[in-house]
């Protein structure tokens, strides 16, 4: 498969497709424009989230993708890129 593990037999989303749905949610919570966000941006330091915002965002992502994000998985999501990668992994697990 040319796209690496981005596709599985039960087709899961590509990273770009996941990013396209994750970024507007992250941007809205931060009060920023989606195009301003970079993978390297820290949720706490750059998007100025506090732990309440992090929780609300994670719950919104769970609803958006209809998945459950475990507490330790959420703890590992420090940057915009982490969130996108984390969501990709969860969606792959679900598709397998």
Binding status of residue 55 toward other proteins by CB under 8 A: yes
Binding status of residue 64 toward other proteins by CB under 8 A: no
The CA distances from residue 67 to 13, 59, 70, 92, in Å, are 13, 10, 10, 11
Angle at 50 between CA 46 and CA 55, to 5 degrees: 115
Pick the closer one to other proteins by CB: 6 or 74: 74
Alpha-carbon distance of 56 to 96, in angstroms, equals 28
Alpha-carbon distance of 78 to 82, in angstroms, equals 6
Pick the closer one to other proteins by CB: 49 or 85: 49
Interface pick for other proteins out of 16, 66, 71, 96 (rule CB under 8 A): 71
Interface pick for other proteins out of 20, 33, 48, 95 (rule CB under 8 A): 48
Tokens representing 27? 């941007």
16 catalytic residue (yes or no): no
Question: What amino acid positions are annotated as catalytic residues?
Answer: 50
Q: Which residues bind other proteins (CB under 8 A)?
A: 48, 50-52, 54-56, 58-59, 71, 74-75
């Amino acid at each position: 498969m040319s796209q690496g593990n981005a596709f599985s037999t039960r087709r899961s989303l590509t990273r770009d497709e996941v990013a396209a749905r994750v970024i507007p949610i992250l941007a809205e919570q931060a009060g920023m424009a989606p195009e301003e966000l970079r993978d390297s941006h820290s949720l706490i330091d750059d998007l100025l989230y506090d732990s309440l915002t992090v929780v609300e965002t994670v719950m919104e992502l769970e609803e958006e993708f209809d998945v459950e994000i475990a507490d330790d998985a959420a703890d590992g999501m420090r940057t915009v890129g982490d969130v996108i990668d984390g969501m990709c992994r969860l969606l792959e697990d679900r598709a397998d």
